[in-house]
Structure formats: C-alpha cells, structure tokens
Structure 1
Amino acid sequence: MPIRSATARWQGNLTEGSGSIKTGKGGIQGNYSFKSRFEEGEGTNPEELIGAAHAGCYSMAFSKALADAGFTPTSVETVAKVHLDKTDAGFSVTRIDLETQGDVPGVDDGTFQKIAEDAKANCPISRLLSPGAEITLSAKLA
C-alpha cells in the first residue's frame, strides 16, 4: 500500500503567525491561522482536515458495506463535525459527529441503520480516532 503524506508550514508565533497546509499530491491546499482554528477566521484548520478525512473514509466504507450486503448506493454523503474542546490535558478532539445520508434503492431503514453502524465501527479513520474521541452517527435514508 502507498504511504500518504501532507505538509504544513507555520511562520511566526501562535496567535499572530500563519501557516499553509498541502496534501502530498496537492489535491488540498489551504492557509490556516490562530483565528481559523480557535475563532471563526478565514482559512482551514487541522480539525477540518480530520473531518474531511473521516467523512471521506466513512462514505467509502459505508458504500462498500452496502454493496457487500447486496445494495448498490446511488450516493452516500457524510458531514463530520469535529469538536475541539479545552480539557484538563489541554485542547483535544473530544467528539466527532458523523451525519450521513444515503440514496440506496431497495434497502429498508433497519438494515440501512445496521450497515451504517457497522461501517462506522470498521472505517479505518474511525478505528484510528475512536480510542481518543467519541464518534456519533446519524444516518438518514434518502
């Protein structure tokens, strides 16, 4: 399997400095700052990138799990809401709320929910993050 990479560069001090983030192949690039991370400033931040990775991984894992169960999804769309909170140990990602919607012909809601939960448990990024953060799931059938 290939090894994936990303690069981040930060210039200056924490509150006045700025940085840039780029994935290895350049598919995602963005600027980030103290304000984009801890306030509502322009740019991206590491938590958004974790959310994008988790949403992408989960959507693929869910799509595969549905197909393995005999249901070919037309689409799966997932939003990952990453919670960065101040804890006794410092700032930590404490929870990620996955909100997914699938357009899956022929599946009933109970089966859809079970497959959604199984995909959450088996998604590689969920497995990586779940020891340190609570991961919730809201799954809706379109």
Structure 2
Amino acid sequence: MKFTRKASAVWKGSGKDGKGSLTTGSNVLENTPYSFHTRFEDGNKGTNPEELIGAAHTGCFAMQLSFLLNEDNYTATTLDVDATVLFEDGSITKVSLNLEGDVPGIDAEQFQQIAHKAKEVCPISKLLDTEIELKVTLKNA
C-alpha cells in the first residue's frame, strides 16, 4: 500500500511574536492557529507541533495495535491511548504512551506482548528518533 497525505503551514512575523496556521488536506485542521505562545507557554487557543505529534502517534499506535490483536483473533472493545511528548533543550527527547485497553478474552501478559510489538512496528514510532515509553493497563484482567 502506498499513499500520500498533505498538510501546510503559514507563518507571519518573527519567531516569538509571529503567528501561524496549519491546514491538513482533509481540512480537519483548517487554518488552525499556532504560535510561540501556544507552543512554549500555555498552549491555549491554538495547537503546537508537539501535541500534533502526540495525536499522530496515539492514533497510529491504537490502529496498529487493533490490527495486531485481530491477527490473534481478538477485537478490542476500547483502546484508550494518550501521549505525553517531552520537549527539552531544542529536541523531543521522550514520548510516553499510556494505554488502557478493554479486550475480551485476552490475558494481561499477551496484551502486554502485543502492545509492545505494536509500539515497535507503528509507523510513527519508527519515524521518531527518541525514547518511546509504554505503560499498558488491561481493564478486564
């Protein structure tokens, strides 16, 4: 399978006082504001690259995990994943994924193994050149 996706950014002004907007090809983000303030300060009223990386990573990981569970004849009722992206000294140094899953019929050890495999083969995980930590909780264990 091969495909492309597009996104664009427009920035006006200086790095600290300027403002920008982000648009995705699907228009889910359409002229969504971002700025120094939304990135390095409170993050309100706009987005930032780090939270978008977190969103991309959680979405990709959850879908990858779902496929791997299906290969072993499990279907998740819910996979709830959040990400904390750590930015320090000009780099993203760590992404912490927190997974809570409700998967009927699976035991905790097998869920852990499949979740860690998903972390390794998830395309966004493979893209990121940083530490990726994964905490796994199985609700029905």
**Structure 1: which 4+ aligned runs deviate by more than 3 Å?**
none
Q: Which amino acid aligns with 1:59?
A: A
Unaligned 5+ runs, structure 1: none
State the partner residue of 2:37.
35
Query: How far apart, in 1, do the equivalents of 2:23 and 2:55 lie?
Result: 14
Unaligned 5+ runs, structure 2: none
Query: How far apart, in 2, do the equivalents of 1:102 and 1:32 lie?
Result: 32
For 1:112-127, what aligned pairs fall within 5 Å after superposition?
Answer: 112-127=111-126
Q: CA deviation at 1:7?
A: 0.5
State the partner residue of 1:139.
136
TM-score (norm 2): 0.93
Query: How far apart, in 2, do the equivalents of 1:46 and 1:33 lie?
Result: 10
TM-score (norm 1): 0.92
Q: CA deviation at 1:41?
A: 3.7
Q: CA deviation at 1:22?
A: 1.2
Select which of 69, 75, 87 maps to 1:84: 87
Root-mean-square deviation (CA), in Å? 0.9
| Correspondence 1:22 to 2:33 | no
Report how many residues are paired: 136
Percent of pairs identical after alignment? 46
